[in-house]
Structure 1
Amino acid sequence: MVLFVAKDISEVTHAEWKQWKFLNSSQNCYRSPLLEPEFAKLIASNNDHVRVIFGQVGEKIVSVFCGSGRVAGMVRPLGAPFDDYSGPLIAEGYQISMNDMLRAGGWHSYRGEGCATPEGVLMDAKFESRGYSFVAQIEDGSAAEYLAERWKDNPKRMKNFRRLSRKLDKDFDTVELRYGVNNPSDIQQLFNWKSNQFSKSGLVDVIEAEKSSTVLQAVSSVKYNEENNFGGYLIELRVNGALVAGHFGLRSGENFHPWISAYDPDHSELGPGIILLYRAIEAMDEMGLKSYDLSGGHDHYKKYFAKPSREVGKLVYFRPTILGTIQGVGFKSWNLFGTKNENSIASRMRRRFDHLAICETRLMPRLKGFFEAFLKRHNTQNS
């Protein structure tokens, strides 16, 4: 029988930390910096609501779930909205109960989009949907051999990407791929470009929103280097010394998970984003990387550089408690307005409200963000 124990991150013992790390590396679906105890510790340093739930059989830890509790016992994945992967992590050969796990944390409901848990190991919960994330993963061989495989699958596209890259070398005196420097002003420049992009497109600005910006700042404050094997990592494309594109995110050892991908709009005609990604994957050996995680989503370019190699699921669970039932009824009531259709207006509204609730704690910025986004999206579609 699996017994669940809830703890603050500061209470995790060395032995528990070690077993957590083992679970993190035991299956490919869990090998992400976002599921490591170091990430939980980093987020907990700026969030008093983070708790970890260990599922134990005797002294052995067979499951780990770390989340951030919300009002009325609602819990979200750690680091949301930058939660491309979430738990629970479950050891092979075991099954757990979501109800028992959430009860140990004092939570009544859970909602997450990127659950990395395989199907069939949650006894009392089912995924609403399943999808894949795109990971450039070098199992054996070199980065050059990996790119050669991508060439075989997408010869026309890869030839075009190489042409853009060579044209950049021809048109400018110096073209440099820089990595690991983490200059704060360069990181801020990426954030500014991305924030402007969000504003123009009508999407929620995760750079400026209160909760999401706290996550970004926490990761920015811890630099990955030889002494610190976990932290923020920046890869830059520079032309004649000027920053034109970059990827910023979390790196742990050989694994890099960029969150913010942005480029200088004044140089968009150069294709800087594509060139950056092409050259970054080309330089994975040089950077000591085996995994370059592009996560999920509908960005068309991802399929040319990475295979849909990691399965994730949308998990929504409401405990059979008074609060859990009320929250479940409220969530499912959206179905009356047509949210079963992912492309319906009601479905898009629910996702927008949900995203704002994750990113922003204050009511007025939430309402302002919703109506501004609605108007901009409406104007964009009618222009």
Structure 2
Amino acid sequence: MNITVHRPEELTASLRAAWHETMENSPDYQNPFLAPEFTLGVARHRGRAQVAVLREGGEPVGFFPFERGPFGVGRAIGIGLSDCQALVHRPGVTWDTQELLRACDLAVFEFDHLIEEQKPFSRYITGTFASPVQDLKDGGHDSYPEWLKATYPGQARTTLKKERRLTRNVGEMRFVYDERDPKILRQLMRWKSAQYRRTGRMDRFARPWIVNLVDQLATVREPHFTGVLSVVYAGDRPVAAHFGPTSRTVFAGWFTAYDPEFSYYSPGLMMHLRMAEAAGRHGIRVIDWGRGEKEYKDWLKTRELRVAEGFATRAHPMAAAHRLWRRPVRGLRNTVLAHPALRTRADRILKTVGSLRGQS
């Protein structure tokens, strides 16, 4: 196995084409977060990204995107934002993890959404978690109400009633699957920032590089990666929005937010249902909602994937130090998330912090 390391922008058109072809060869790798376009976007706005290219007989057979920090500490590309991580490879290809880390000059490689298929990393996994997905079918329904009644009969009546009420009280309810207006994307970011603050979470959109990354990804229109902004309107007023990338067959659920003024109408759920129906008509077969406990994910999912977190290491002082620093933090967080009572209490504390923050 020959391994070379490149900056993402150095990848030739033929290498990017080989990466795309490798994605197509397995359903495990068709998530848009595994596409070279996502790695190129992170590289453009964060500057730490690299790609290891694995070759056999001179032919590229695998692609390993990562971010390299000081002292040989490596992390999965876009960690904290990406809901799917992997070394993307041709069927039947395997690798030696120690050889990979040496070639990449890494003492440690940290991941938190590694797909289950990555067997050479299995000895380094510290935990696995459910990642809900929603299987879609273009069932040939003539209308959204018909699709909704066939797919979610228990919720169809209430949801359609709320849509009619929104139309009557505010303005005609309409849905745009692929909105191109950048002002709406910025509105989504403002809603999401406000939501993060209300709930005491870290505001991702307070970080300029994330804002710039999302702005840029929204302009990408490639077969294996397209940024899609979906919006529910009442008249000309945006009520809810979602932005996430798609590949040919997979839609990655990413950023969802709505105007709190219209919470009575359940605009977030309204948008997710509209989005699922429209995505099916556009050839999408799976929505990957990503790891994490959310009521709407449990309601929408048709099955679950498994993703892993952990630290692949080699003999190096920095590897031991990094594990000692990071593993207890992850363990405490996962303990809280795994127990409903602790999770509810933590959410309550975070919302109190958010409320106090809003008053300051």
TM-score normalised by the chain length of structure 1:
0.78
Contact 1:117 1:312 in 2 (8 A): yes
Q: Is residue 318 of structure 2 the alignment partner of residue 320 of structure 1?
A: no
Cross-structure match for 1:295: 290
Q: Is residue 200 of structure 2 the alignment partner of residue 239 of structure 1?
A: no
1:86 Cα deviation from its structure 2 partner: 0.9
Cross-structure match for 1:77: 76
322-331 or 298-307: which moved more?
A: 322-331
Distance 1:112 1:322, change over 3 A: same
Work out which structure has the larger RCO, using CA pairs closer than 8 Å and 6 or more positions apart in sequence: 2
Alignment of 1:50-199 (within 5 A): 50-118=49-117, 121-122=119-120, 125-138=123-136, 141-142=139-140, 155-199=153-197
* Residue identity opposite 1:87 in structure 2: A
Contact 1:77 1:112 in 2 (8 A): yes
Q: Distance in 2 between matches of 1:88 and 1:237?
A: 36
Alignment of 1:231-380 (within 5 A): 231-332=226-327, 340=331, 342=333, 376=353
Distance 1:77 1:322, change over 3 A: same
1:232 Cα deviation from its structure 2 partner: 2.4
Q: Distance in 2 between matches of 1:142 and 1:316?
A: 45
1:242 Cα deviation from its structure 2 partner: 0.4
Contact 2:35 2:224 in 1 (8 A): no
1:154 Cα deviation from its structure 2 partner: 5.9
Q: Distance in 1 between matches of 2:327 and 2:313?
A: 11
Q: Distance in 1 between matches of 2:205 and 2:166?
A: 29
Give CA deviations for 1:15-48 in whole Å, capped at 9, x if unaligned.
3222211221222221111101122222222233
Q: Residue 207 of structure 1: SS of its match in structure 2?
A: helix
Q: Distance in 2 between matches of 1:344 and 1:182?
A: 41
Q: Distance in 2 between matches of 1:173 and 1:160?
A: 19
Contact 1:154 1:304 in 2 (8 A): no
Contact 1:97 1:123 in 2 (8 A): no
Give CA deviations for 1:100-124 in whole Å, capped at 9, x if unaligned.
21221111112221112415x2167
1:70 Cα deviation from its structure 2 partner: 1.4
1:182 Cα deviation from its structure 2 partner: 2.1
32-41 or 207-216: which moved more?
A: 207-216
1:262 Cα deviation from its structure 2 partner: 0.5
Q: Residue 251 of structure 2: SS of its match in structure 1?
A: strand
Q: Distance in 2 between matches of 1:22 and 1:248?
A: 26
Q: Residue 46 of structure 1: SS of its match in structure 2?
A: helix
* Residue identity opposite 1:50 in structure 2: A
Identity, in percent, stands at 20
* Residue identity opposite 1:68 in structure 2: E
Contact 2:249 2:285 in 1 (8 A): yes
Cross-structure match for 1:365: none
Q: Is residue 15 of structure 2 the alignment partner of residue 16 of structure 1?
A: yes
Cross-structure match for 1:27: 26
268-277 or 74-83: which moved more?
A: 74-83
Contact 2:311 2:323 in 1 (8 A): no
Contact 2:185 2:229 in 1 (8 A): yes
Contact 1:50 1:66 in 2 (8 A): yes
* Residue identity opposite 1:85 in structure 2: C
Q: Distance in 2 between matches of 1:6 and 1:110?
A: 15
Q: Distance in 1 between matches of 2:352 and 2:81?
A: 25
Q: Distance in 1 between matches of 2:216 and 2:258?
A: 22
1:67 Cα deviation from its structure 2 partner: 1.0
Contact 2:5 2:51 in 1 (8 A): yes
* Residue identity opposite 2:200 in structure 1: G
* Residue identity opposite 2:24 in structure 1: S
Distance 1:309 1:25, change over 3 A: farther
Q: Residue 62 of structure 2: SS of its match in structure 1?
A: strand
Contact 2:37 2:225 in 1 (8 A): yes
* Residue identity opposite 2:292 in structure 1: G
Contact 1:86 1:112 in 2 (8 A): yes
Q: Distance in 1 between matches of 2:25 and 2:38?
A: 18
Q: Distance in 2 between matches of 1:158 and 1:112?
A: 39
Cross-structure match for 1:360: none
Contact 1:88 1:117 in 2 (8 A): no
| 5+ residue gaps, structure 1 | 349-371
Q: Distance in 1 between matches of 2:231 and 2:112?
A: 29
* Residue identity opposite 1:40 in structure 2: T
Number of equivalences:
348
Q: CA RMSD in A?
A: 3.4
1:279 Cα deviation from its structure 2 partner: 1.6
Give CA deviations for 1:160-198 in whole Å, capped at 9, x if unaligned.
334433443454541110132321111111100110110
* Residue identity opposite 1:33 in structure 2: P
Contact 2:20 2:224 in 1 (8 A): no
Q: Distance in 1 between matches of 2:335 and 2:250?
A: 37
